[in-house]
Amino acid sequence: MKLGVISDIHGNRVALDAVLADLPPVDALVCAGDVVGYNPWHADCVDEIREREIPTVQGNHDRAVAAGSAPHFNGMAQAGVEHAREQLSDDQIQWLRELPVERHVADGRVKVVHGHPDDPDHYTRPREFGPDLLDDEDVLVMGHTHVQAHEVYDEGIVMNPGSVGQPRDGDPKAAYAVLDLEEMAVDERRVDYDTGEVIRTVEDEGLPRQIGFRLAQGR
């Protein structure tokens, strides 16, 4: 069984479209949270995930938009929350509100969280990866850091597919991964997309310009 693994779309429809077009044949998709936030197309991204019935967990931006409050967010993140609240319907916000913080897929072999198995807001950097993060699952999928990485242990795999909509690992290409559960292997993938379109739309929507400019630098 092969799973396409995505995370941290953050309202970037252009990047999401590029990832879905680049995706090789897989048996299913899964998303490790933060469908919304930062970029301009929150509603489009929510609709795409819902229409494809992609199992998704709740990220911190999803939760903030659903709650209408983000007290610890910086200015860019806060602006994205407010923009999403204005754009999304009540039904879309309710969908974000009802997302679970943890999911098991592939007959329980894969556990999906956003930040850390014990703390959805913790940034689990690659240096913190280890077999101790695994419980009964074969694979743990995390997002939140926007940094693509994975490690294979005797006990299983710990992985982060990276961010579709706002990579922060120095590579501006949209990130995702393909997980092969038969081979117990991860294919980390990157795909180009038109960051210029995102930058222009960020400015047109009155969002902070830095939201768009950072995309070209992958940070």
Asked if the model's pLDDT at residue 71 lies above 80, the reply is no
User: How far is Cα 106 from Cα 121, in angstroms, rounded to an integer?
Assistant: 25
At 213, the pLDDT band (50, 70, 90 cuts) reads confident
111 domain-assigned: no
Average pLDDT over residues 83-111: 97
- The answer to whether position 132 is within a domain reads no
CA distance 84 to 67: 12
Question: How many domains are contained in the chain?
Answer: 1
Instruction: Tell me whether residue 167 is in a domain.
Output: yes
Mean pLDDT of 38-46: 97
**CATH number, domain at 18?**
3.60.21.10
In the structure encoding, which two tokens stand for residue 15, read together? 């990047």
Amino acid at the residue 110: V
**pLDDT band per the 50, 70, 90 thresholds, residue 217:** confident
In a domain, 125, yes or no: no
Per-residue pLDDT, 84: 95
In a domain, 210, yes or no: yes
Q: Does residue 16 belong to any structural domain of this protein? A: yes
3-state secondary structure at position 34: coil
- Residue 11 and residue 175: Cα distance in Å, rounded? 14
Q: Is 208 a domain residue?
A: yes
Interval 118-169: pLDDT, tens:
999 999 999 999 999 999 999 999 999 999 999 999 999 999 999 999 999 9
Reported as half-sphere exposure (CB side, CA atoms, 13 A), residue 11 has a value of 29
Gyration radius of the chain over CA positions: 16
Q: Is the dihedral of CA 54, 96, 194, 124 positive or negative?
A: negative
Tokens, residue 72: 């610890």
pLDDT tens digit sequence for 180-195: 999 999 999 999 999 9
Q: Is residue 45 part of a domain?
A: yes
Range of the domain at 67: 2-102+159-217
Asked if pLDDT for residue 70 goes beyond 90, the answer is no
